[in-house]
Amino acid sequence: MLTVIITLLAGALLLAAWIASNVLQQLNKESAFSGPAASFENPINLDKVPTSSLFDEATKALSIVIPAYNEEFRLGSTLDETFSYLQRRRDQRGPYFTYEVIVVDDGSQDATVGCAAKFTRKHGVDALRTLRLPQNRGKGYAVRAGVLVARGQNILLMDADGATRVSDLERLESAAQDVMQQGKESLEPSGGSPPHQAFVLGSRAYLEESSKAKRTALRTFLMHGFHFLVALVVGRSIQDTQCGFKLFTRDAARRIFPNQRLQRWCFDVELVHLAQSLNASGCTIGLAGARVLCIPMAEVQVTWTEIPGSKLRVTSVISMALELVLVKVGYGTGAWPLHGHLDLQR
């Protein structure tokens, strides 16, 4: 019996050491922000297209950022639906509704880039730009790379599989206007200048009960475990952090994304944590115990359809749990300091 207990304790210590080692390694690896080694390429003449900066003035009403890794079979239908919607909306609203779609190729090994190039030839390089990362870095890295070169006043993140109906963007825009109006009203008594900031998350939480019957007991257990860890990091104010349909105003994106560290699974949770932690002025961070003016968030129900070909596996949950530990430890200990957007411009 004593031998069994000693063996279990030794195993637990080895596991704790392994976790601590991985946490420290990842904290150091992702501790500092670095810009993407990426470029736009015109598929017509293969010329390089100058990249813009999130810190420049907006020149489009809307940017849609689509991260893509080996998506040759799903990206085409998503871009078809997206451009049909954007063109209809421009017909309704007139020439002031300007837009761009940024496909971020995350080192794909299939014909993803070629698929995007067909739409660039059809709609023009100003309407669809493909940002090519030299190697696969993860969805979080691809999203950040795309947002940092976006030209839109509003920036929508959307998955390449088209699981969410793009027209639901209007629900998110309406919620963004509501939270900005609430922020304006809260500042009026003090005469403060209202920040044009909003972060709106599409939500599939309403589907959770109906999908239980389709999941195995193991997947249900892992899902509840993941939700528990998410709640430890960001609380329970947001029910669905992982839906790949999110809207940011440009001002909010400027404060959030340059601070983002995670490159793969749980960057969504990190974005929520950053919105909760960053001072709305973007210049200073509230001290412990001080009132922090968080970037306002809202969660909106969206139409979502499960698309075959998901890359998420049960084994990925382990990596996701580790990343949630990184967020808690990295920001909680100050290993990952938060910066205001003015600091990042210097």
Q: Which domain holds residue 190?
A: 33-206+238-333
Q: Hey, what are 313's tokens?
A: 């596996």
pLDDT, residue 291, reads: 41
Report pLDDT digits (tens) over 202-241: 998 877 655 544 555 656 666 667 778 888 888 888 989 9
Task: Tell me if 22 is assigned to some domain.
Answer: no
Q: Hey, what are 30's tokens?
A: 């992702």
What is the total count of domains within the chain?
1
Task: Tell me if 303 is assigned to some domain.
Answer: yes
Task: Tell me if 338 is assigned to some domain.
Answer: no
pLDDT over 70 percentage in the chain: 71
Say what the alpha-carbon torsion angle 296, 301, 302, 304 is, to the nearest 10 degrees: 130
**Quick check: helix, strand or coil at residue 238?**
coil
Q: Hey, what are 107's tokens?
A: 């080192």
Task: Tell me if 134 is assigned to some domain.
Answer: yes
Task: Tell me if 6 is assigned to some domain.
Answer: no
pLDDT, residue 321, reads: 84
- CATH number of residue 66's parent domain: 3.90.550.10
Task: Tell me if 69 is assigned to some domain.
Answer: yes
- With b for 16 or more beta-carbon neighbours within 10 A and e for fewer, the 8-40 pattern comes to eeeeeeeeeeeeeeebeebbeebeeeeebebeb
Report pLDDT digits (tens) over 47-91: 787 889 999 999 999 999 999 999 999 999 999 999 999 999 999
